[in-house]
Structure 1
């Protein structure tokens, strides 16, 4: 059933990944058996959603690194037992932008943790284990160069991504239940991030990069849609329109049999989106 999988697309919410699966089916012209429709293959487990569209697997992972870790472990095992080869893994989502226009699509060239180290640090059996969180910078630059020609309507940005372990204090927000720093201290930290090439903040980058690297999945890089971290109220959207054409473009790039007619309408208040990509054996 899964032996033909070539792409795994991950995102936070079940509804987003169902929408992406339906978009992929439409734009990639994937034919399902007569009388059938897409269905959530993991519905009975209730932990995440999973849709299969031809060689594309669209899966939700929840919020933050811990839930993404669970999904990656289980998806990696699924791909292994299904004898899949040369699978491209990527993620779409949202992030907070640093010094980039709202609605930009960020293609990440690296990932740092809350201590600004390019590593995933986690305790295992009472010991702190550090694993490198490496992205494929060359792939990121190649994707941006080609996408700028094919998708000129997108504002594409490259840079590092900071992965926080928390949504509020870990990202310097001022509107959480607790806040032990001043607005000036927050702005100084954001300036420091900007000075080392960080262009956005989210909660999954180092985990994704480190696990893909540890699993020997090559050609890793993220793509994210960024919003201004100072904007507290942004109209909610179901799926960032900016991410969709670039994500489908990636499918075409890595799987030439796909032929896509990509069209999109951008909304100035849409959030930024995140995509992490990895290809391996």
Structure 2
């Protein structure tokens, strides 16, 4: 496969079975005796996946296991659900997964490799469970550009460090470039939810995804640094003027894999530092906790609105 965006693939180039509307591009899956989702500790033979997950309509993912446990409690309260919610990834410590009615809450760790592994298994889980009309939203933290800490950013476009709206992966020694387009209508709906809440500032803009927290994001406080503060500020100013509102480490692969799988997707991140003013995060712990709750408040409001609307229709 030559370098270029993997968009208009032919049927021969992609295996597109839509069990329940979830698309997978792997002709080998149906010939497997069992598909064991190793990092979830769930399998097609050992578990009744359609019975367990077939009603899922919303999947919310985030880096921290404790943050997703907190989101589970929050969304259960918002939806009026009662009960104890245990981790469905039993006897394994890579990820956590909780289910509250039609809402699945999963941690994904930090960085592109970690979230990509989780997404492969999540997509197959939804496929095997025959889920339909699923919306996936990443809840995260990020470094803001010219935004006060605590601002919530809804991602308009996920771009790489070169400002390209694409994700490049090396497969069998060759580069494959995939589109990172997100659902624009979903982004606008989420922005509107933030405005309806009026509890914190919510903006929409491009999100830059990097491969590293330190040098990749132009920080001056890593173990290595080969550039000056002037170099750093020149770069941050350049990407800010190009429309980048925040920087994190998962959005491009998240957008690319959700698009490939026919999943509506969005990224909602709170900024925890204004990178134009410094690199280190000095916000007090209790303030940081409140900041990190803001994406879940916004997304919880969105989910509640959607479920109430579907009940009325």
The two structures have a TM-score, normalised by structure 2, of: 0.77
Residue of structure 2 equivalent to 1:272: none
Q: Does 1:243 align with 2:295?
A: yes
8 Å CA contact retained: 2:193, 2:301 = no
Shift of 1:244: 2.3
Residue of structure 2 equivalent to 1:167: 213
Aligned equivalents of 2:263, 2:310: Cα separation in 1: 22
Whose helix proportion is higher, 1 or 2?
Answer: 2
Q: Secondary structure at the match of 1:170?
A: helix
- Pick one of 137, 144, 149 that aligns with 2:191: 144
Residue of structure 2 equivalent to 1:276: none
Aligned equivalents of 1:192, 1:137: Cα separation in 2: 24
Residue of structure 2 equivalent to 1:221: 266
Q: Does 1:91 align with 2:142?
A: no
Shift of 1:231: 4.8
Q: Does 1:200 align with 2:246?
A: yes
Q: Secondary structure at the match of 1:18?
A: helix
Are residues 234 and 258 of structure 1, via their aligned partners in 2, closer, same or farther at CA, if it must alter by over 3 Å? farther
Greater alpha carbon shift after TM alignment, 137-146 vs 66-75: 137-146
Are residues 23 and 46 of structure 1, via their aligned partners in 2, closer, same or farther at CA, if it must alter by over 3 Å? same
User: What does the per-residue CA deviation read over 1:7-56, in whole Å, with 9 as the maximum and x for residues that have no partner?
Assistant: 11101111111111011111211134xxxx21111131221111111111
Shift of 1:141: 2.3
Note the residue ranges of structure 1 that are not aligned, 5 or more in a row: 260-281
Q: Secondary structure at the match of 2:212?
A: coil
Aligned equivalents of 1:190, 1:95: Cα separation in 2: 14
Residue of structure 2 equivalent to 1:186: 232
Shift of 1:238: 4.6
Higher RCO structure (Cα 8 Å, ≥6 apart): 1
Regions of 4+ moved over 3 Å: 236-239
Aligned equivalents of 1:216, 1:5: Cα separation in 2: 15
Aligned equivalents of 1:253, 1:135: Cα separation in 2: 21
Are residues 98 and 42 of structure 1, via their aligned partners in 2, closer, same or farther at CA, if it must alter by over 3 Å? same
Residue of structure 1 equivalent to 2:53: 2
